[in-house]
Amino acid sequence: MEQENEFSGQESLALITKMINKARRDYLDTGLSALLWGSVITFCSLVTFANHYLDWPALEYVWWLTVAAIIPQIVIVIREGKDRKYRAYEDDLIGGIWISFGIAIFLLAYIVSVYHVAEPAPLFLVLYGIPTFATGYARRFRPMLIGGVACWVLAIVSHYTPYPYTMLSLTVAAQLAWFIPGLIIRKCYLKAKAQHVQRS
Amino acid sequence: MFKDLNPILHSQLRLAVISILISVKEAEFTYLREKTDATAGNLSVQINKLKEAGYIDVSKSFKDNYPQTICRIPPQGFRALED
């Protein structure tokens, strides 16, 4: 793109559209965060479900894994920030939504344990849906939009489902909201990265 | 009817840079080079022209011991584009 000559209005418009689309096609994150949380919640909920039948006291603490997962999450955020060559307008907004979600989820876990809520899964599912849907909406990323809606549908389903089957609702929600969208984002990211390596 | 573009935007590369910077909050020089397929020298010259015309802000810093140039459209740049 070395031309300095004047060009027509139509050519200008075509160039503007092309460049805006080029910038939009880029994937901002690596998909690792979604994969991490999709895996952790799937693992914890499945272990809790299995433990209903196994009854191993040690497995009751499996949800502490969500606290431990904060460490790799911080590493992912720092690494993604270092590799990032641009910032989108919605970055701060989405970041703020996920931070507030993280705080809200731990507060909810605390409140649920203090008040001994019998079946907290619907509450967690309602909360899972909010940042997932918001991210899908802001990034126009349909898998996360569907994942967010799925969390809310599963919140209703789990309200009418007895324990331990509510844990399976959490598993499905984690897969639909994070793990599967994470896989799609990861695939697109790796594809874009490979194309970039080929060009350079 | 649309107004004619400012002559500073009659260059394909300058218009391409502005179009990218409208879509994002800020972008590194390397990102702009990658998206426009321009040479570093030419892009640098055109970015300077846009900066002098007040369309963009350019900030230089260091990232992992390498120089980093970040470009963004300031509020006055958006106003200039609207005029």
**Domain harbouring B21, CATH code:** 1.10.10.10
Name the amino acid, one letter, at A152: W
Per-residue pLDDT reduced to its tens digit, A104-126: 999 999 999 999 998 999 999 99
Residue B44 in this model has a pLDDT that exceeds 80: yes
Residue at B3 is within a domain:
no
Q: How many residues does chain B have?
A: 83
Residue at B72 is within a domain:
yes
- All structural domains of chain A with their residue ranges: 30-193
Predicted model pTM: 0.83
Number of domains in chain B: 1
Residue at B1 is within a domain:
no
Per-residue pLDDT reduced to its tens digit, A128-169: 999 999 999 998 899 999 999 999 999 999 999 999 999 999
> How distant is the Cα of A110 from the closest Cα of chain B, in angstroms?
37
Residue at B61 is within a domain:
yes
Which residues of A83-160 form beta strands (DSSP E)?
A: 86-87
Residue B48 backbone zone (phi > 0: left; psi -120 to 50: alpha; other: beta): alpha
Q: Give the H/E segment covering residue B57.
A: strand B57-63
Q: In this predicted complex, what is the ipTM?
A: 0.80
In chain B, which residues have their Cβ closer than 8 Å to the Cβ of A82? 63-64
Residue at B23 is within a domain:
yes
Radius of gyration of chain B (CA): 13
Which stretches of chain B are DSSP H helices?
12-23, 29-36, 40-52, 75-82
Cβ within 8 Å of B, A 14-33: 15-16, 18-20, 22-24
Residue A5 in this model has a pLDDT that exceeds 60: no
In chain B, which residues have their Cβ closer than 8 Å to the Cβ of A3? 11-13
Residue at B15 is within a domain:
yes
* Nearest chain B residue (CA) to A28: B24
In chain B, which residues have their Cβ closer than 8 Å to the Cβ of A20? 19-20, 22-23
What pLDDT is attached to residue A4? 56
What pLDDT is attached to residue B77? 82
